[in-house]
Amino acid sequence: MATYLVTGGAGFIGSNIASELVKRGDEVRVLDNLATGRRENLAGIEKDIRLFEEDIRDLEAIRPAFEGVDYVLHQAALPSVPRSVEDPVGTSVVNVNGTLHVLVAARDAGVKRVVFASSSSVYGKNPDLPKRETMRPQPISPYAASKLTGESYAAAFYEVYGLQTVSLRYFNVFGPHQDPASQYAAVIPIFVSCLLEGKRPVIFGDGEQSRDFSYVANVVQANLCAAEAPGGAGEVFNIACGARSTLNELVCYLNEILGTDIEPEYSTERAGDVKHSLADISAAREVLGYEPQIDFRQGLELAAEWYRRSRSSSWPA
């Protein structure tokens, strides 16, 4: 049995990871200041974890959470491209300084490996598809720049201090515990919420922008593979399904799944948004043993059902 620390473990992805680790029988610690995370996301496992309610911006405060830990799965961050455009300093303080603190604390505590949650946004305006890890990153938002900086710090800590790190570039993750109510919410929970309320979902642009959407269970599996794989230290990997859909197609799929028939509303493109995204996941397959188990359509059905249940029992759940 290994001891895992999940930073941001009360958030969307972190809570799904924590739940899977508990199910496996590992010792689980969660570090979260509950700024964007929710205690409700830990419902059902709260007695099986140890919660450290601390902020990664405070290095000394987070050190105790790292003592005796084997693996750190670093999910804590200020998400959202629009938020970073509005507040680049706040995004950097959490995503860059906070990540540096996590790496320092992990190094000093003798942690075996840190898995860093990065983002496909680092590819930015590079038009080539699919996205491969060997491409030159071209971030076009402060959020993307903060994630690329985190990757650089992770690689440097492996080279300089021997702390094993693996960075995972997530592509448009969705699923249970993703909050549709936040002003910075991701597209799928927003669209599902709108359709369930009989409202027209708003698409920024013409709707032909495409994304490699990945159900959260795939990302959970990727984190566990990245922590335990014999190889991959100091490297970066794409985590997605290796297929893409447009936002117009997304609305059509959701209308079918939810039994609705609502046309989207179109608005002006947003600054910092990437037009197309598609991952080459061959490196993650070969080195980490990652293989997505749930495809986009199946994931949409699972997510829509969860949102429907959560809505009926009053959000959040």
Domain boundaries, the chain: 3-174+215-242+278-293
Residue 313 predicted with pLDDT over 80: no
Over the stretch 269-294, which tens digit does the pLDDT of each residue have?
Answer: 887 777 888 999 999 999 999 999 99
Region 120-127 average pLDDT: 91
What superfamily does domain 3-174+215-242+278-293 belong to in CATH? NAD(P)-binding Rossmann-like Domain (3.40.50.720)
Residue 312 predicted with pLDDT over 80: no
Provide the pLDDT for residue 275: 85
Count of all residues that appear for the chain in the document: 317
Catalytic option among 4, 71, 123, 143: 143
The mean pLDDT of the chain is 94
pLDDT-derived band at 99, boundaries 50, 70, 90: very high
Region 48-59 average pLDDT: 98
Residue 78 predicted with pLDDT over 90: yes
Residue 126 predicted with pLDDT over 50: yes
Provide the pLDDT for residue 315: 47
The Cα 49–Cα 26 span in angstroms is 10
Provide the pLDDT for residue 273: 76
Provide the pLDDT for residue 207: 95
Count of Cβ atoms closer than 10 Å to residue 51 Cβ? 18
Provide the pLDDT for residue 85: 93
- Spatial CA neighbour of 35 closest among 16, 11, 51: 11
Residue 212 predicted with pLDDT over 50: yes
290 belongs to the catalytic site: no
Provide the pLDDT for residue 134: 97
